[in-house]
Amino acid sequence: MQQRDMQLLQEMGLTHWQIRKPECFPAWAQSVIDLPDSCQLLLVTPDEMDEHDAWLFGNILRSMKLSPEQALTLPPHALSELGEHHLTWCWFAGCQGVEPSDCQILHSASLRQMHDHPASKKALWQQICAFND
């Protein structure tokens, strides 16, 4: 796809698309997101993190005995492009999506909502503990 075509799609508000008949475009290859082997947790969220969200995310990672280097974030629409992975956890925060196979799935409110709702943090922690039992 040429740059001009991509710009037109973006101007129309289309940031994600899928070709229905890829056999008609043999030169075009769908992008695949390959996670590094070190990635143990994938946070799926439509929101961009601010400093406060990053602080909370870091605390949750520490409680799971993970470092920030072992976690990545993706928006929900990018999950369809996920390639091979070695994930232990996939956490959907404030959204739903296609769940990757062979990992433990967590669902919670968005990080922003969790700041003011201790019950949301507790529910997430209970899910994490249930997998560790």
* Per-residue pLDDT, 27: 65
Tens digits of per-residue pLDDT, 74-87?
Answer: 999 888 888 888 89
* Per-residue pLDDT, 19: 64
Domain boundaries in the chain?
41-132
User: What is 41-132's CATH number, 3.80.10.10, 3.60.21.10, 3.40.50.10220, 3.40.50.620?
Assistant: 3.40.50.10220
Count Cβ atoms below 10 Å from residue 61 Cβ, excluding itself.
Answer: 19
pTM given for the model = 0.75
- pLDDT classification of 40: cutoffs 50, 70, 90: very high
Secondary-structure breakdown of the chain: helix, strand, coil percentages, each rounded to the nearest 5: 40, 15, 45
